[in-house]
Structure 1
Amino acid sequence: MRIGICPGSFDPVTLGHMDIITRACKIFDKVIVAVPVNPDKHASFTVEERMDMLRTVTQGLNVEVDCVRGLLADYAHEKNAAAIVKGLRAISDFEYEFQMALTNKKLNPEVETMFLPTSVENMFLSSSMVKQVAGFGGDISHFVPECLLERINERLCRTARG
């Protein structure tokens, strides 16, 4: 079984994330969508909430949602993954992701990193942008899965006001 890992903060899940996850599902027998536990990062949603949202939007896909506690390279080894799948929006993403790919390869020579360019309609889309637009009361319905819209708006608008 060929396993791919799609790591990300998913804070919150966007249509751009879903584009990459869905396309990875066509390449791998199983895709693990992995949310890292990073106590140094302040997220709008807890790891558990992000995992729950991911389980909701990936129902019916060959996806397992999990969290990563530690190095992604070690996690990939534990899960016997063939590749780490990363979405790229722009050239600016590439430099950082390439550095991470080389680091992961050094730590785990068995795992490859695969870069998938985002679809044109999602090139501008990021979780940070969604948070900013929602925080000012803007319409994020074109940026996040419909089934999560109310939940995301409730949290991000409350965060912006409070």
Structure 2
Amino acid sequence: MARVALYSGTFDPMTNGHLDVIRQGVALFDRVVVAIGVHPGKAPWLSFDERAETIRLSCAAGGFGAAVEVASFDGLVVEAARAVGAAAILRGLRDGSDFDYEMQMAGMNGTLAPDIRTVFLPASPGLRHISGTLVRQIAALGGDVSAFAPAASVDALKRAIARRESKKP
């Protein structure tokens, strides 16, 4: 039986930090399902299809695309994990504040689904400073984000910024 893990997030955009967690997850599990959260109350810069495509292209470029599947979810992450047969939920940790938040989430998820484990994966040292929010902010101000995100994400962000600019009066 294949060992499956779920890695959830908004991935708006996918960053090199996200890619690092996926790379580590693929080393531990037979299959990693990257679950993109789709929530009506959020207004992501990138559409679900754009986010899914950046994940697929980035994982293929990294050489581990065959072990990665992309899905969407709009409810509890433990329910998404159950739906794909995942035994574990992957969570990346950049620093102590991530750890505090993720420990709370792991506790809640563990109560909701005791059969699904949370696996914490530390960010590689050179990637700990990267966040999707900061990548979006830098890109919006015209900065080069290629050091922080895979090429597919950089291209998708450029298209998103052009769309946003075209809607300005």
Shorter-chain TM-score category? Answer: over 0.9
More displaced 10-residue stretch of structure 1: 42-51 or 132-141: 42-51
Indicate the residue corresponding to 2:28 in structure 1: 27
What one-letter code is carried by the residue in structure 2 that aligns with 1:139?
A: D
TM-score (norm 1): 0.93
Q: 2:113 aligns with which of 108, 128, 133?
A: 108
The unaligned stretches of length 5 or more in structure 1 are none
More displaced 10-residue stretch of structure 1: 141-150 or 110-119: 141-150
Distance 2:145 2:162 in 1: 11
2:76 counterpart of 1:71: yes
What one-letter code is carried by the residue in structure 2 that aligns with 1:70?
A: G
Give the secondary structure class of the aligned counterpart of 1:58. helix
Alpha carbons of structure 1 residues 54 and 67: separation in structure 2 relative to 1, 3 Å: same
Indicate the residue corresponding to 2:130 in structure 1: 125
The unaligned stretches of length 5 or more in structure 2 are none
2:103 counterpart of 1:98: yes
CA deviations 1:88-139 (Å, max 9, x no partner) are 1111111211111111111111000011110111111001000110111111
Alignment size in residue pairs:
162
CA deviations 1:34-56 (Å, max 9, x no partner) are 10111111211122221121111
2:82 counterpart of 1:82: no
Give the secondary structure class of the aligned counterpart of 2:157. helix
Tell whether the 8 Å contact from 1:136 to 1:160 is kept in structure 2 after alignment.
no
Seq. identity, %: 38
Distance 1:160 1:103 in 2: 41
Tell whether the 8 Å contact from 1:7 to 1:36 is kept in structure 2 after alignment.
yes
Tell whether the 8 Å contact from 2:54 to 2:156 is kept in structure 1 after alignment.
no
What one-letter code is carried by the residue in structure 1 that aligns with 2:150?
A: P
Indicate the residue corresponding to 1:150 in structure 2: 155
Distance 2:107 2:5 in 1: 17
Map residues 38-53 of structure 1 onto 2, 5 A cutoff. 38-53=39-54
Tell whether the 8 Å contact from 1:134 to 1:157 is kept in structure 2 after alignment.
no
TM-score (norm 2): 0.89
Distance 2:162 2:103 in 1: 34
